[in-house]
Structure 1
Amino acid sequence: MSKSGFLLSPDPGNPRLSVEVEGTDHNGQPISTRVVTEKPLTLYLNRQEIVTMMTIGDYPDLLAVGYLLNQNMLAPDDKITGIDYDDEVDVVVVRTERETDYEEKLQKKVRTSGCAQGTVFGDVMEGFDSIDLDPNAILKTSWLYALTKAINTAPSLYLEAGAIHGCVLCREDQPLVYMEDVGRHNAVDKIAGWMFMNGVGPEDKIFYTTGRLTSEMVIKTAMMGIPILVSRSGFTAWGVELARKAGLTLVGRARGKRFVALSGEERIVFDIDPGTVADEDKKHARKGGQTE
C-alpha cells in the first residue's frame, strides 16, 4: 500500500514523470516550473503491432493490458503468458496463450473526444446492448463526499505539474487505485489492467474521473462492469444517452457538497445533509483546463 493509503497511486516525486523547465512569467521574470513528461509507447499483442500511445510512461504493463481489454482484443478468460517492456525503445509486448490476429479490426479506427487523441476500434460497441450492471449497487452521498475530498487532497502529478488527468477506482468511501496520464483514456486503461492482473471484480466499485463524462468514458466504464461513474467535470449528451441505455449511474460536477446525477439516480442513497459538508478548498481545486 502506498504512503497515501491507496493500493496504488501517483508518485509525484518520480523524476521520470516530470521535468524542471525554465521560462518567463507574466512580469517578465525568470521562473522554473515542473511539466509532465510525454513519450510514445508502442504496443504489440504477440507478433502484431497494435497502436502507439502517448503516455507519461508509468505502469506500461497495466496500460497495455487495460488497452487490449477495453478494445475487446483480450477476453476476460485469456491467459497472459508474458509482458515484456523495453524502456530503451519504448515498446511493450503482451503475449497470450491464445493465438491472435486483428489485422482487419485495426482498419476500423474511430478518434474519440478524449485529449491525447484517444482511439477506439469500430466493433468496440459489440456487446454494449447486453451489458448487465449490478442493480443492487448503491452510492451513498456520504461516500461521494468522502471520496472527492480524499482524491482531491491526495499527492498527485496534477498538483505537482498540472496538465494531466486522473482516474480512481473506489469501493464505498475508500479510494483504491489512483492513476494519472496525459489522456484520461490511458488512466482508465491502467485501472482496467490492474483489475485484470489482480482478479478484482467490478460489481461493488465506483469509478471516479477528473475528465468529462464523454461517450468514451461511459463505454469503457460500462464495458468494465462498473455500475457507478463519477466526475468533477461535466457531461456530453451522448455520454448521458449511453449511460441511460446501459443502466449506469452517472454523476458529474461533483465538487464540495454539489453534484448532478443524470442517469441511474435510483442507486443514490441520500444519507447525509449537504449543509454539513464543507465547500471545496480552493487550494486543492483543480482548474477547468485539466478537468474539462
Structure 2
Amino acid sequence: MDSLSYEVKQYGPNGFTPTPIRSIREVPLTIMLNGREVVTLLCTGKHPEYLAVGFLKSDAFVSDPDQITDLTVREQEDRLVAEVETCNDPWKNRVMERSITSGCGKGTNFGRNVTTISRRRLSGDVRVTPEQVLSLARELHERSTLYTATRGCHNSSLCTPTEMLFFREDIGRHNAIDMICGQCFLEDVSVDDKMIVSTGRVASEILLKVVRIGVPVMISTAVATSFSVELARKTGVTLIGNVKHDSFWVYNDPGRIQD
C-alpha cells in the first residue's frame, strides 16, 4: 500500500465540491546499526531493506556486503524499524558532524563525505546518445503511476543506455536513490556501465550518493545546484539535467555522450 484514499473539499469556479483523492503514504523508517540508532527516514515504506542498506552505504557505514551479518525489518505500530548487524565496527573513528541537506526532511550528510568522495574519479565506460537520454526520461515519466495518482513522489531508475533495470519511487528523491544503491550493493550489481535517471533536483548530497555507489552518469529532469556541478567536474561524473521532451543541459561530460 503506497497511497491512501481521502475525500477533500476542492475549491473551483463553482465553489467547494467533495472530491476523492489519493495521498501518498508516509511512514517513519528507523535504521538501527549494531543496536544503535542511526537515523529515522520518512518514506513510503516500500523496499525498506534496500533503503536502509543504501543509506548506510551512501554514508560510509558499510563498504562491503560481507560486512552485513543480519538484516531484519520489523513493523511497529507507528513506524518500520530496520535492524542491521555488521561484523565490523561502523562507529570507529567516525566523525558525526552533520549538515542539514536540501531534502526538506530527515536527510543527513556526514561531514567526511564531501572531503573523501571529491578525491574520487569515476572512469566508467558507458556511452549514451542524446536520443537515448530523451527516451529514458520519457520512460521514467510513463512509469510514474504513483506520481500521477498522488503528485507526491520522486522517481529514480538504474539504466543502461537502452534499458531501464530498476525503477524506484518514494516521497524523497534521496530515498529513491538510496533504494537503488542498496539493491546494487546487496545483489552485487555492476554499475560502472550504468546510469541513474531521476526526477529530483540534483543537489550535492544526491551527487555524493551517485559517486559513492560508482555510477558514472547522472540524468535528471530537474536542475543541478552549483555545488553538485563542481563535484561532478571534480569526480568525472557525466551530469545531465533539465531534461525536457526534446532538450536537456549538459553540466559536465568527460566524453560519455555521443553526438
**Same fold judged by TM-score > 0.5?**
yes
Q: Map residues 1-292 of structure 1 onto 2, 5 A cutoff.
A: 16-27=1-12, 28-76=16-64, 78-89=66-77, 90-101=80-91, 105-106=95-96, 108-134=97-123, 136-264=125-253, 266-270=255-259
**Alpha-carbon displacement from aligned partner over 1:34-63 (angstroms, at most 9, x marks no partner):** 010111111101111111111111111101
Compute the displacement of 1:91 (Å).
0.9
For 1:180 and 1:102, how far apart are their aligned partners in 2? 33
Where does structure 1 differ by over 3 angstroms across 4 or more consecutive aligned residues? 102-106
Where structure 1 has 5 or more consecutive residues not aligned to the other structure, the ranges are: 1-15, 271-292
**3-state SS in 1 of match to 2:113:** coil
Cα RMSD, aligned residues only = 1.7
Compute the displacement of 1:127 (Å).
2.6
Q: Which amino acid is the alignment partner of residue 65 of structure 1?
A: V
For 2:144 and 2:214, how far apart are their aligned partners in 1? 28
Kept in 2, the 8 Å contact 1:115–1:182? The answer is no
For 2:111 and 2:224, how far apart are their aligned partners in 1? 23
Kept in 2, the 8 Å contact 1:140–1:268? The answer is yes
How has the CA–CA distance of structure 1 residues 155 and 248 changed in structure 2, closer, same or farther, with 3 Å as cutoff? closer
Compute the displacement of 1:131 (Å).
1.5
For 1:102 and 1:61, how far apart are their aligned partners in 2? 24
How has the CA–CA distance of structure 1 residues 129 and 148 changed in structure 2, closer, same or farther, with 3 Å as cutoff? closer
Count of aligned residue pairs for this structure pair:
254
Deviates more, 1:95-104 or 1:76-85: 95-104
How has the CA–CA distance of structure 1 residues 224 and 26 changed in structure 2, closer, same or farther, with 3 Å as cutoff? same
Indicate the percent of aligned positions where both proteins have the same amino acid.
Answer: 31
How has the CA–CA distance of structure 1 residues 51 and 180 changed in structure 2, closer, same or farther, with 3 Å as cutoff? same
**Alpha-carbon displacement from aligned partner over 1:217-254 (angstroms, at most 9, x marks no partner):** 11111111111100111121111111111111111111
Compute the displacement of 1:26 (Å).
1.9
How has the CA–CA distance of structure 1 residues 232 and 166 changed in structure 2, closer, same or farther, with 3 Å as cutoff? same
**3-state SS in 1 of match to 2:190:** coil
For 2:101 and 2:9, how far apart are their aligned partners in 1? 34
**Alpha-carbon displacement from aligned partner over 1:91-145 (angstroms, at most 9, x marks no partner):** 1101122233369533x11111123241111112243133231253222223212
Q: Which amino acid is the alignment partner of residue 22 of structure 2?
A: R
**3-state SS in 1 of match to 2:114:** coil
For 1:155 and 1:220, how far apart are their aligned partners in 2? 22
For 2:165 and 2:104, how far apart are their aligned partners in 1? 25
**3-state SS in 2 of match to 1:139:** coil
How has the CA–CA distance of structure 1 residues 135 and 186 changed in structure 2, closer, same or farther, with 3 Å as cutoff? closer
How has the CA–CA distance of structure 1 residues 258 and 202 changed in structure 2, closer, same or farther, with 3 Å as cutoff? same
Q: Which amino acid is the alignment partner of residue 91 of structure 2?
A: D
For 1:114 and 1:88, how far apart are their aligned partners in 2? 25
How has the CA–CA distance of structure 1 residues 100 and 267 changed in structure 2, closer, same or farther, with 3 Å as cutoff? closer
Where structure 2 has 5 or more consecutive residues not aligned to the other structure, the ranges are: none
TM (norm. structure 1) is: 0.82
**Alpha-carbon displacement from aligned partner over 1:3-28 (angstroms, at most 9, x marks no partner):** xxxxxxxxxxxxx2110111111231
Kept in 2, the 8 Å contact 1:21–1:33? The answer is yes
Kept in 2, the 8 Å contact 1:211–1:231? The answer is yes
For 1:24 and 1:103, how far apart are their aligned partners in 2? 54
TM (norm. structure 2) is: 0.92
How has the CA–CA distance of structure 1 residues 155 and 104 changed in structure 2, closer, same or farther, with 3 Å as cutoff? closer
Compute the displacement of 1:162 (Å).
1.3
**Alpha-carbon displacement from aligned partner over 1:264-285 (angstroms, at most 9, x marks no partner):** 1622112xxxxxxxxxxxxxxx
Kept in 2, the 8 Å contact 1:144–1:173? The answer is no
Q: Which amino acid is the alignment partner of residue 97 of structure 1?
A: C
Compute the displacement of 1:261 (Å).
0.2
